[in-house]
Chain A
Amino acid sequence: MSKLISEKTKEVFLGPLSKNNPITVQVLGICSALAVTSKLEPALVMGISVTIIVAFSNVIISLIRNTIPNRIRIIVQLVVVAALVTVVSEILKAYAYDVSVQLSVYIGLIITNCILMGRLEAFAMSNKPWESFVDGLGNGFGYAWILVAVAFVRELLGSGSLLGFKVIPQSVYDAGYMNNGLMMMPPMALIIVACIIWIHRARNKDLQEK
């Protein structure tokens, strides 16, 4: 068991959650972070989908990494990712149709998500399956928690609800409060991501560029 959670594996898992976060530090996967975060539910589903896909494609690529010819490795990676994306997309259509309609093309576009190709190229191609799996989970969660944080702020201030439930009481609206329409637009997602990066760097001085 000690081998399973060695120091390195722990670092591989925890790094992407904060110090090496795919969105706030590497600034990858911004597109989908802007597109699916106007409500909490699609953001949550998107985060889980990406986590599953990145973890399992990491495992698969890592298992066959020694047999992939170097010159066609990108194509092989794409085939693996595309297969997993199709599976996830079909499952969503079967069991969570409403959410899959809301996410529309963005589930399919996970294929082009920079985080996936980045992890496959940078990690899975040169590491063992178990570590690759942990790395995929770490990056997926790192991506998901930013999405959920952004969606939380946007849904709370933009619609006054969380996961579709009204959380701001009617009496507040009666007193003159209004939902912020700008929160429902993509630019505000960019500003909220920027705020998260701002706070993150203020707390981790070693991340600040000179």
Chain B
Amino acid sequence: MNALKKLVDKVKPNFQKGGKLEKFHSVFDGFETFLFVPNTTSKHGTHIHDAIDSKRTMVMVIIALLPALFFGMYNTGYQHFLAIGQQVSFIDTFIYGFLSVLPLIIVAYGVGLGIEFIVAQIKGHEIQEGFLVSGMLIPLIIPIDTPLWMVAVATAFAVIFAKEVFGGTGMNIFNVALVTRAFLFFAYPTFMSGDTVWVRTADTFGIGSGTIVDGYSGATVLGQVATAATEQVKLLNTIGNPIGFIDGFLGFIPGSIGETSTLAILIGAFILLITRIASWKTMFSVFAGGALMALIFNMWGPDTAAAHFPWYNHLVFGGFAFGAVFMATDPVTSARTETGKWIYGALIGAMAIIIRVLNPGYPEGMMLAILLMNIFAPLIDYYVVDANIKRRLKRAKTN
């Protein structure tokens, strides 16, 4: 650590005013404050200082994402070898998944951070760290077989139009990672939905080539539910074996990379809650709202498989848990008042289930539900604050 500090101090003069590389001072600042807590404090005005700044908040979210990421890598390999009917060791499975997922992460980070650096350089800002989390979320919410150039185009679109035009990190209305996914979903629907994109059947860098076994189907659980002809649907995994609630909870099913395992997501949720980075109110109310809405459909819904999909299954299959834990709790785009968080979360959960059940075109509703509620978050806050003002005015008058 000391050697690193010495190195940073040694190259520092180059980036300060008058130095050779003055132009790149924002890049340097970004790296320096990322590595070390700055030793300066503000000298004017009143400041509330917190031990945790936004860079370290972001790092904590990344740590919380790791269980889902590693499980997603393993599951990518697991589904692949299941599909081609080969038995391989744990390590080989993981390596296959790791090599498949890694390019997506590199592309998402490379494009997103590249744009951030360029914008910071043009505007003379410091580099904003907001993309650290978005760049990790993007690969986790897309199918494994998404072509890399699509990821690059969508990431560039989302960073420019969902974030930079609004003023950068902390100013965006929509969750950047979800805008990336929405762009992919509407621009290239054949790569974002259907039965063939969720399990990688081709080899990765020459590893794991083979032919697909008989009875293979790459449909996700929600895809099976959406296309089911009968009211009661029998859920099947990649090679046609029946699955149930516990498989959805553990996550050995096809789906977007990071969303399949509710268990891994809950470990991440635990990290976020114990460090108080995410709001338990938002998280809890998303699950509560979703469960309630699903229960209502279970009892009085139309005669479709989606409406009669048990409420507990709705919570563990698809992107529901991932969205609730990592997307709905995004501090920038969610409601900020405490009462507002309850309303915001509950409406996300309810909307997600409504979209899943009532719109056969969208087997998964979490992305659209969160983006929709992102728009309403400021409105919810406005009325919560307004109600508070009215209540206190009334109290002041009666006394």
**Nearest B residue (CB) for A198:** B165
- Option from A176, A183, A185, A191 in Cβ contact (under 8 Å) with B149: A176
- Expressed in whole angstroms, the Cα–Cα distance for A89 and B398 within the complex equals 68
Indicate the member of B161, B165, B187, B190 with the most A CB atoms within 10 Å.
B187
Asked if B15 lies at the interface with its beta carbon under 8 angstroms from chain A, I say: no
CB-based contact A180/B161 at 8 Å: no
CB-based contact A181/B186 at 8 Å: yes
CB-based contact B147/A185 at 8 Å: no
Asked if A178 lies at the interface with its beta carbon under 8 angstroms from chain B, I say: yes
Q: How far is the CB of A128 from chain B (nearest CB, A)?
A: 43
- Option from B147, B149, B165, B187 in Cβ contact (under 8 Å) with A182: B187
Interface size classification for chain A: 10 to 19
Asked if B284 lies at the interface with its beta carbon under 8 angstroms from chain A, I say: no
- Expressed in whole angstroms, the Cα–Cα distance for A181 and B165 within the complex equals 23
**Nearest A residue (CB) for B148:** A176
- Expressed in whole angstroms, the Cα–Cα distance for A183 and B186 within the complex equals 9
What residues on A are CB-neighbors of B186 within 8 Å? 181-182, 185
Asked if B188 lies at the interface with its beta carbon under 8 angstroms from chain A, I say: yes
CB-based contact A183/B161 at 8 Å: no
- Option from A178, A185, A191, A198 in Cβ contact (under 8 Å) with B188: A178
What residues on A are CB-neighbors of B302 within 8 Å? none
**Nearest A residue (CB) for B187:** A182
Q: How far is the CB of A90 from chain B (nearest CB, A)?
A: 37
Q: Which of B157-201 contact A (CB under 8 A)?
A: 161, 165, 183, 186-191
- Option from B150, B161, B190 in Cβ contact (under 8 Å) with A191: B161
What residues on A are CB-neighbors of B183 within 8 Å? 182
CB-based contact B147/A181 at 8 Å: no
CB-based contact B161/A181 at 8 Å: no
What residues on A are CB-neighbors of B189 within 8 Å? 181
- Expressed in whole angstroms, the Cα–Cα distance for A181 and B183 within the complex equals 9
- Expressed in whole angstroms, the Cα–Cα distance for A117 and B373 within the complex equals 38
CB-based contact B149/A180 at 8 Å: no
Q: How far is the CB of B30 from chain A (nearest CB, A)?
A: 26
- Expressed in whole angstroms, the Cα–Cα distance for A178 and B184 within the complex equals 12
Q: How far is the CB of B357 from chain A (nearest CB, A)?
A: 24
- Expressed in whole angstroms, the Cα–Cα distance for A198 and B186 within the complex equals 24
- Expressed in whole angstroms, the Cα–Cα distance for A177 and B183 within the complex equals 16
- Expressed in whole angstroms, the Cα–Cα distance for A18 and B188 within the complex equals 35
What residues on B are CB-neighbors of A191 within 8 Å? 161
CB-based contact A180/B187 at 8 Å: yes
CB-based contact B187/A176 at 8 Å: no
What residues on A are CB-neighbors of B187 within 8 Å? 180-183
- Expressed in whole angstroms, the Cα–Cα distance for A185 and B29 within the complex equals 41
Given A182-B183, A191-B161, are A176 and B188 also a contact pair (CB < 8 Å)? no
What residues on B are CB-neighbors of A185 within 8 Å? 186
**Nearest B residue (CB) for A180:** B187
Question: Quick one: CB contact mask for B229-246 with A, threshold 8 Å, 1 for yes?
Answer: 000000000000000000
Q: How far is the CB of B26 from chain A (nearest CB, A)?
A: 21
- Expressed in whole angstroms, the Cα–Cα distance for A198 and B165 within the complex equals 10
What residues on A are CB-neighbors of B190 within 8 Å? 178
Question: Quick one: CB contact mask for A167-210 with B, threshold 8 Å, 1 for yes?
Answer: 00000000011101111010000010000001000000000000
What residues on A are CB-neighbors of B161 within 8 Å? 191
What residues on B are CB-neighbors of A182 within 8 Å? 183, 186-187
Q: How far is the CB of B16 from chain A (nearest CB, A)?
A: 31
20 A–B contacts from the bound complex (CB under 8 Å): A176-B147, A176-B149, A177-B149, A178-B150, A178-B188, A178-B190, A178-B191, A180-B187, A180-B188, A181-B186, A181-B187, A181-B188, A181-B189, A182-B183, A182-B186, A182-B187, A183-B187, A185-B186, A191-B161, A198-B165
Extra contacts besides A178-B191, A181-B186 (17): CB < 8 Å: A176-B147, A176-B149, A177-B149, A178-B150, A178-B188, A178-B190, A180-B188, A181-B187, A181-B188, A181-B189, A182-B183, A182-B186, A182-B187, A183-B187, A185-B186, A191-B161, A198-B165
Instruction: Please name the 4 residue pairs, one residue from A and one from B, whose CB atoms are nearest each other, closest first.
Output: A182-B187, A182-B186, A180-B187, A181-B187
Which residues of A are at the interface with B, using a C-beta cutoff of 8 A? 176-178, 180-183, 185, 191, 198
